[in-house]
Amino acid sequence: MSDTIAILNDTTRCTGCEKCVAACKEEYELGRDRPWRAQGAVSDLSSTRYTTIVRRPDEHYVRQQCRHCLEPACVSACLVGAMQKTPEGPVVYDADRCMGCRYCLAACPYGIPRYEWDQRVPYVTKCTMCIERVRRGDIPACVDACPEEATMFGTRAELLAEAHRRIDENPGKYQPRVFGEHEIGGTSVLYISDIPLDFLAWKPDLGTQPLPERTWAALHKVPPLMLGMGGLMTGIYWVVGRRMKLASEAAIELETAASDIQAPAAEAESGEGST
């Protein structure tokens, strides 16, 4: 199997300048952060912030983004294939397939995906590792913008080698592990750090077994859970129907607004022509 692409974040080099955040916002036209009541702070990950900087004591800065897990729980939790693992490694989202159930939000051990709660037709949002830029031969916008080389792009094998090299050549500087090398089967966003990074996950020790394996093993052992599937599917049809209705209402509103603008312009034009 060819090696997947990856990002290595070295927290010892990060100054918290947020140029990576700004570059991501510009690349995806995310606009200004909007406070939302479920958020602790506007600087949290959100539908307008696919990456952010978590500030820790003593001027430690830790970049947060989707880990692009090798065996992603969000993908296995999504019943309609809206979360997909690409052959290159990044985990991407297909809004056309999404039914709005938000199982991916609940499944992610790093609390990454966000929902557009304030939109009429909401979707899930998260980092894509700039897969389209990478396919064009470019590197992710955030990596490109970092002036400190605190975040690097390459293949997972190259970046793991670089991470271990930095740890070995700087005794005592780093925690003695590469975060993401083995956790829950491994991730494509890796970290080396002088402080523990367990706070980034939903519990300190995630183990090394991929979450999808655990999830499905548990489901097979608990058949009654499957009995709820009928009710679940009913809910899904309701959600899909509602989303389609909202989308078509939004389209009608746009059409009406457009014809409201065009009508006076046409009248003015014909008035001008008749004089």
8 interacts with ligand SF4 by CB under 6 A: no
- Under the binding rule (CB under 6 A), the answer on residue 100 touching ligand SF4 is no
Site for ligand SF4 contains 51 (CB under 6 A): yes
- By CB under 6 A, tell whether 26 contacts ligand SF4: no
Buried b (16+ CB within 10 A) or exposed e, 232-243: eeeebeeeeeeb
Ranges assigned E (strand) in 15-112: 52-56, 60-64, 83-85, 91-93
Contact flag: residue 112 with ligand SF4 (CB under 6 A): yes
Q: Which residue has the tokens 């070295």?
A: 10
Q: Is 67 in the site for ligand SF4 (CB under 6 A)?
A: yes
Q: Is 10 in the site for ligand SF4 (CB under 6 A)?
A: no
In the complex, the smallest distance separating the C-beta of residue 155 from ligand SF4, rounded to whole angstroms, is 15
Of 189, 222, 182, 256, which Cα lies nearest the Cα of 51?
189
Among 48, 62, 113, 193, binds ligand SF4 (CB under 6 A): 113
Candidates 31-39, 95-103, 126-134, 159-167 — which segment interacts with ligand SF4 by CB under 6 A? 126-134
Closest CB to ligand SF4 among residues 145, 159 = 145
Asked if 146 interacts with ligand SF4 (CB under 6 A), we say yes
User: What dihedral do alpha carbons 168, 109, 215, 122 form, nearest 10°?
Assistant: -140
23-45-114 Cα angle (round to 5)? 115
- Applying CB under 6 A, which of residues 5, 8, 101, 130 lies at the interface with ligand SF4? 130
DSSP state of 88: T
Measured distance CA(110)–CA(91) in Å, rounded: 14
User: Quick check: 65 binds ligand SF4 (CB under 6 A)?
Assistant: yes
Retrieve residue 47's tokens. 């539908």
Rg (the chain; Cα; Å): 22
Task: Enter the tokens of residue 173.
Answer: 């500087």
β-bridge partners, 114: 125
For ligand SF4, give the closer residue by CB, 129 or 160: 129
Q: Does residue 94 touch ligand SF4 according to CB under 6 A? A: no
According to DSSP, the β-strands at 189-192 and 60-64 are unpaired
Query: Does the footprint of ligand SF4 cover residue 70 (CB under 6 A)?
Result: no
60 binds ligand SF4 (CB under 6 A): no
- Residue numbers of the site for ligand SF4 (CB under 6 A)? 14-20, 23-24, 27, 50-51, 53, 61, 63, 65-69, 72-74, 91, 108, 110, 112-113, 126-130, 140-142, 145-146, 148, 150-151
